[in-house]
Amino acid sequence: MLANMFNRTLSVVIWVLLVSCCQAWYIPGYSIKSYRDDEHIPLLVNKVFSDRTQLQYAYYDLPFVCPPSGRVHGGSPFGSGQSISLNIGEVLRGDRIMTSDFEIVMGKDVECQALCTKEVDRQGVKRGRELIKDGYVAEWIMDNLPGATSFVTVDRSRKYYATGFKLGYQDISPTTGKKRYFINNHFTFVIRWRKAPGKAGDQGGKVIVGFEIYPKSITNKNREEGSCPKDVHGDQEGLELFIAPNTSQLAEKYPGSSYIPEEDPDFDDGATLKVPYTYSVYFREDDKIEWSNRWDHYFNNQSEGSMTHWLAILNSLTISAVLGVTVLVIWGRTVQGDVKGRGDGVMEDGKIRPRKSKSARSVDKNQEGVLDKPEDVERDADVSLDEETGEEFTGWKLLHGDVFRVPAYSGLLAPLVGSGMQLLFMSAGLLILSCLGILNPSFRGGFVSVGMGLFVFAGLFSGYFSGRLYKTFGGQNWRKNTIITATLFPGLSFCLVFILNMFVWAQASSTAIPFGTLVGLVALWLLIQVPLVYAGSWYGYVRAAPWEHPTKTNPIPRQMPPQPWYLSSFRGTLLTGLVPFAVLFIELLFVFKNLWQDKSGYYYVFGFLSVVSTILIVTVSEVTIIATYSQLCAENYHWWWQSFFTGGSSAFWIFAYCIWYYFFKLHITGFVSSLLFFSYSLLACAVYGLLTGTVGFLTAYAFIRRMYSAVKID
């Protein structure tokens, strides 16, 4: 048996290493769009975002940008300002994609083209300065590629992209020493293309393999109305977002005051600032980039950490291997030892027939005239001795009549385990689809959309496991259990999101979920997921048999001895969570950087993430087995909830890591942004804890059933 387990473990390790070589490529060819010369290329505007705040805004909602004119360009049936239909994932991530007035034609370079001249009032100037101060960047899209700011490594060996471009910049005035804010009002587009593959290329088709945006601030002086400056690419004075204060009217607003502000943005005297917007377009052929690899530049900065990923995997494998050896030792001392006939009792009708205790044998000896010492007679009567081997019958074997006793609050444990299985199925599906390339960056919002679809479909598994476990616990009202399973976790999550959405609505941010989308989510939950949970619960409770236990439960609970501190306190559970956290925390650094700092929404090393997740699940299972075995050896049969908490205890450390990351790595400002960060971090940790807690519980359950079923003599 040990050899078989070793072979299985070795196979898992080899499979994990093979998966790690799968660097989340994506399926090329199914969405290639080729353009011929003089064909119009639409440019879409999306949103602005910043790593200093969690609030995003639709680009056309900004008061200082060119509003859409509504004109039709390039034979498109839609005019500018038309919203593009979005999937649910795009809506939830704050995308608001709309058509624009930029006229871009394949192969046609444009030195300079005027877009519009926007008159910005004092409120608009104030708003622009606030966004520039917070480091907001804009995201535009061409051929499903986000416009990027191009960077080159120090050794100039590689180029990589950062999604979006800055709205403006700030510097210090050399005369007054005050901060000045300049807005970028000229955009240079560098569109990299190559010959299209296949027949489309033979017919003159070209594909876009790169979309770079170089913003620039150019003053509105020395140019005609609505025209370009004389030297677009030369050194130019920037356009400062500043309207001179109206001192006379400010004095009227503050009559008799000893202090008159130099500038009052809230004061509207009708003054405006003219901001002319222009753009240039340049097409450059680039045969070094294949269309299927055009996203690589967006992830070159992530690939630099590949060595760190490998070291993290090596560290995780080491931790998991040490725990695996411990589990094998436990397995050999319990299951294997009893199968070979070294058990301390004999199974009869699901019960263990213990050997005579030491005190019982002392009575027999006393009857024969041989008296034991008083200290021998006073030994614990619960300690039995095997007549054949002389080994004491103690620990977990004494709990055969209590180990499967129904736990307290079993009506809550069954729905939690069902919801955890639902999340486990969803997470496994997302990782597999991402590694296969089905979920890729070109499928914008696909990760969230497919994740929600998998979660809803997994309601079948949630209902099945919850219903069958509820039946095993002896529950009678399975419909009540079904309602709790279908509404507990989704309902609490929706309530949290709805409350947070109210705060975001007040900020007029595109991060806010539209009311129609909220109604759709509720319909998806109540009309699809709930019936699926009901169907799974009906099958798990009505049609499937309950899980059988190898021992019968005594009617009177056994009294437990005093427990060690690491088993009887909350601290012990937290200590067990440190081991899975040690496996995961290095990968968390990359995930957090992508989610909270880069804000691109693209995490492309799913091969590494899949490996770490697999090792994490194995580690959680091993830690739970060791902790549960230690608990049973201490004659504590309350393992049901304890195994669940042990499996999910690393969620506490992840949330503590979120707090540390907030204070030492992020630069988030504002109450609403901080509230969003901590609320969504808490929700994510709850999801993680529910998933790993379910893994720990089911692992401990399977281990205990196998352990007690093997207590017999051949």
Which range has the top average pLDDT, 228-237, 334-343, 625-634? 625-634
What are the tokens at 335? 């299951």
State whether the Cα torsion 171-172-173-178 is positive or negative. Answer: positive
Exposure on the CB side of residue 121, measured as CA atoms within 13 A = 8
* Sign of the torsion formed by the C-alpha atoms of 288, 294, 300 and 301: positive
> Taking 80 as the threshold, does the pLDDT of residue 10 lie above it?
no
Confidence check: pLDDT of 267 > 70: no
**Does residue 493 have a pLDDT over 80?**
yes
C-beta of residue 75 within 8 angstroms of C-beta of residue 433 = no
Q: Whole-model pTM?
A: 0.85
Q: Mean pLDDT throughout 182-198?
A: 95
Residue % of the chain over a pLDDT of 70:
80
Give the pLDDT confidence score for residue 441 in this predicted structure: 82
Q: What is the DSSP code (8-state) at residue 502?
A: H
Question: Taking all residues of the chain, what is their mean pLDDT, rounded to a whole number?
Answer: 83
Show the tokens assigned to 318.
Answer: 């080491």
Contact 202, 220 (CB under 8 A): no
Instruction: Please tell me the predicted confidence (pLDDT) of residue 175.
Output: 83
Report strand pairing: 392-393 vs 384-385: antiparallel
Q: Rounded to an integer, what distance in angstroms lies between the CA atom of residue 84 and that of residue 81?
A: 9
Give the whole-angstrom CA distance, residue 24 versus residue 603. Answer: 9
Q: Tell whether the model's pLDDT for residue 260 goes beyond 50.
A: no
The single-letter code of the amino acid at 644 is F
**Is the confidence at residue 373, as pLDDT, over 50?**
no
Assess contact for 161 and 151: CB atoms under 8 A.
yes
CB neighbour class for 157 (10 Å; exposed up to 12, middle 13-18, buried from 19): exposed
pLDDT for 226:
65
pLDDT given for residue 386 in this prediction: 45
Q: What percent of the chain has pLDDT over 90?
A: 55
Lowest mean pLDDT among 45-59, 358-372, 650-664: 358-372
Q: What is the mean pLDDT of residues 389-403?
A: 71
Flag whether pLDDT at 399 surpasses 70. Answer: yes
What is the 3-state composition of the chain as percent helix, strand, coil, each rounded to the nearest 5? Answer: 50, 15, 35
pLDDT at 395: 72
CA torsion through residues 289, 292, 294, 297, sign:
negative
Q: Which residue has the higher pLDDT, 331 or 532?
A: 532
User: Whole-angstrom Cα distance, residue 201 to residue 209?
Assistant: 14
Largest CA distance in the chain: 124
Query: Is it the case that residue 461 has pLDDT exceeding 80?
Result: yes
For residue 714, the model assigns a pLDDT of: 37
Between residues 654 and 572, the one the model is more confident about = 654
User: How far, in Å, CA of 501 to CA of 497, rounded?
Assistant: 6
Count of alpha carbons within 13 angstroms of residue 686, beta-carbon side: 14
What's the confidence (pLDDT) of residue 374? 42
* Domain residue ranges in the chain: 39-246+265-301, 308-332+566-713, 410-558
The confidence score (pLDDT) of residue 250 equals 55
pLDDT tens figures, 573-628: 899 999 999 998 888 888 888 788 776 555 566 767 788 899 999 999 999 999 99
For 68-121, the pLDDT digits (tens) are 999 887 767 778 899 999 999 999 999 999 999 999 999 999 999 999 999 999
- Three-class SS of residue 299? helix
How high is the pLDDT of residue 75? 65
Q: At residue 281, does pLDDT exceed 50?
A: yes
The two structure tokens encoding residue 100: 């624009």
| Main-chain dihedrals φ then ψ at residue 522, nearest 5 degrees | -65, -40
Q: What's residue 384's pLDDT?
A: 46
- Phi and psi torsions of 169, nearest 5°: -150, 170
Alpha carbons 438 and 432: distance in angstroms, whole number: 9
The answer, yes or no, to whether residue 349 has pLDDT greater than 70, is no
pLDDT at 444: 87
**pLDDT tens digits along 58-78:** 999 999 999 999 988 776 777
Q: 351 has which bridge partners?
A: 348
Whether the CB-CB separation of 155 and 303 falls below 8 Å is answered with: no
* pLDDT, tens digit, 9 for 90 and up, residues 13-35: 444 444 444 444 445 445 789 99
Cβ–Cβ < 8 Å for 647, 619: no
Are residues 299 and 148 in contact, defined by beta-carbon separation less than 8 angstroms? no
Residues in the chain: 714
